[in-house]
Structure 1
Amino acid sequence: MAQKQSGSLLKLGRTLMNNRDLIAGLSRREIEIRYRGATMGVLWALFNPMIMLGVYTFFFTEVLRSKWQGIEQQSSLDFSLVLFPGLLVFTFFSECVAKAPTLILTNQSYVKKIVFPLELLPIINLISAFFHALIGFVIWIVFYLVIKGGLHATVPLVVFPLIPLGILTLGICWILSALGTYVRDITHIVTGLLAALMFLAPIFYPITALPERYRGAIMLNPISVAVEQVRALLYHGTMIDWKQWFIYLAVSLVVASIGLWVFQRARAGFADVL
């Protein structure tokens, strides 16, 4: 009989502390596997966001000749500078969520052969995605320094919107990894939803560019608050709305609690369906 697992975030904290070396080792392994066999290895983690930044810069400034509403005296590169933070947030979120439905399916040995805290798998996935996001942020900072010559004092505060984003992403991943083990179609549904979420978040446009009646709905997108706050801190140099941040954090904690509860209740049947 499967041992009943706790769905408490507080007990999860103790699990994290007790397994911190395991988490560090598996996270490093997850990153290394991604680049194993590649000639340049982990350097691709550096080149990929640079390539993405270059492509978006060319496409939006030279092909579409886009301008970001609300920014006066824009250079040809300003659109890319203001666009890229939102893309980094979405890429982090989508990398975690896209893999979530198959996390248990691709780690069957942990379910069948050994005693393993399966709830750590989404966390390891999150750390791997954060590693790539961090490199992207570093590249943006270097790019901004080259273009603008200095950074806003609010840049170090970018960690704050990433905290509730990470917690919310974990909650969603726990739910999707549990459901995806039983319903294999979840993977295809998630792929379609992620494509929609990218355009239904203020990534390619500021929220102020939308009519007032649509803004509330757009901000319900799980990444919209993070996109707006990261952009405010990095590019505009303005302080985030702390009331909005606390609401975002509270919602994230609720979703994470529900997600962990669902995962721990569903895990008893994982071995039977694999």
Structure 2
Amino acid sequence: MLKDIISNNKLIAKLAKNDFKQKFAGSTLGVIWAFVQPVITVLVYWIVFDKALNAGTQGTKAGIQAPFVLWLSAGIVPWFYFSEVLSAGTVVLQEYNYLVKKVVFPINVLPVVKAVSSLFVHGFFVLFTLVVYLLYGFGISPYILQVVYYSIAMMILVIGLIYMTSALCVFFKDMAQLINIILQVGIWATPIMWNFDGMLDKIPLWLAYVLKLNPMYYITSGYRDCFISHVGFWTRPALTAYFWIFTLVIYFLGTHVFRKLQPQFADVL
């Protein structure tokens, strides 16, 4: 399947571009809505937590204090991408059922199309966050380049997941609703709105280890390392090794399920 993805890279790029445009076809502002929504979401969270609940600054393990809006933005940027791709990718085969029914079309590239399509907004949001940091006078270091590494890591993780969920959704229609519920719980199970480092002395050690098993903990913490702590991913070898083992297992499991069920897709859809 990896060979098919590489050999069909131009097709994936074309479909991803069309998929991105198609989301907002017919609306007056068009693709502008794709960029407005995440910005508004951050502003709402900022007003609620920083202004209404007086969250103040948030400290990192490196001892750096950052305004809440900066700390929140660094953690929620990857979550927007992850949740959007997982939600849309789960129903990708139903959305493109007319392509699935074509015998000669390489349908195993469709999950990748969703992951690439969402990169447009993700890239914009990373740049938007950088601008906000600069406006706050927060220094930017070369460690920011690690965003590319964490983005690729997250992309591989979510592609593996949607290979599995999209295949299962063909036969189990409730999978899409189940994924939405998991994402609603997941945003609170991941240290995005709350500070994991600030809670280590308040929660049992075993619970801290359980929370770290969430692969998105590695990604959101990594983004904060890029923007705030200025720490390299190689300084967390155990967590990095766990993330990649988990991700590769999910990827190979997801592609295996997809291949096994693929011959029946056209009949069911």
| 1:91-170 mapped onto 2 (5 Å cutoff) | 91-148=80-137, 150-170=139-159
Amino acid at match of 1:266: L
Aligned to 1:222: 215
Equivalents in 2 of 1:199, 1:68: separation in Å? 19
Query: Which of 188, 193, 202 is the equivalent residue of 1:199?
Result: 188
Equivalents in 1 of 2:250, 2:72: separation in Å? 28
Percent of paired sites with the same residue: 26
Query: Which of 224, 229, 233 is the equivalent residue of 2:226?
Result: 233
Further displaced range: 190-199 or 94-103: 94-103
Amino acid at match of 2:220: V
Measured after TM superposition, the shift of residue 100 of structure 1 is 2.8
Unpaired runs of 5+ in structure 2? none
RMSD, matched Cα: 1.9
TM-score, normalised via structure 1 length: 0.88
Mapped pair 1:253 → 2:248? yes
> Greater RCO between the two (CA within 8 Å, min separation 6)?
1
Measured after TM superposition, the shift of residue 219 of structure 1 is 1.4
Equivalents in 1 of 2:52, 2:183: separation in Å? 25
Equivalents in 1 of 2:64, 2:255: separation in Å? 48
TM-score, normalised via structure 2 length: 0.90
Aligned to 1:7: none
Summarize deviations over 1:51-103 as a string: whole Å, max 9, x none. Answer: 2232222222111111354368967xx10101112212111111111123321
Summarize deviations over 1:87-146 as a string: whole Å, max 9, x none. Answer: 121111111111233211121111213421111111010011222111111100001001
Q: Segments of 4+ in structure 1 off by > 3 A?
A: 71-75
Equivalents in 2 of 1:90, 1:123: separation in Å? 18
Unpaired runs of 5+ in structure 1? 1-11
Further displaced range: 189-198 or 243-252: 243-252
DSSP-derived class of the 1:158 partner: helix
Q: In the comparison of the two structures, how many residue pairs are matched? A: 261
Equivalents in 1 of 2:12, 2:183: separation in Å? 27
Equivalents in 2 of 1:50, 1:207: separation in Å? 24
Equivalents in 2 of 1:197, 1:51: separation in Å? 20
Query: Which of 59, 62, 75 is the equivalent residue of 1:86?
Result: 75
CA contact (8 A) 1:161 1:245 kept: no
In structure 2, the CA distance between the partners of 1:68 and 1:15, relative to structure 1 (3 Å rule), is: same
Amino acid at match of 1:57: W
DSSP-derived class of the 2:215 partner: coil
CA contact (8 A) 1:49 1:139 kept: no
Further displaced range: 121-130 or 99-108: 99-108
Query: Which of 4, 7, 12 is the equivalent residue of 1:23?
Result: 12
DSSP-derived class of the 1:41 partner: coil
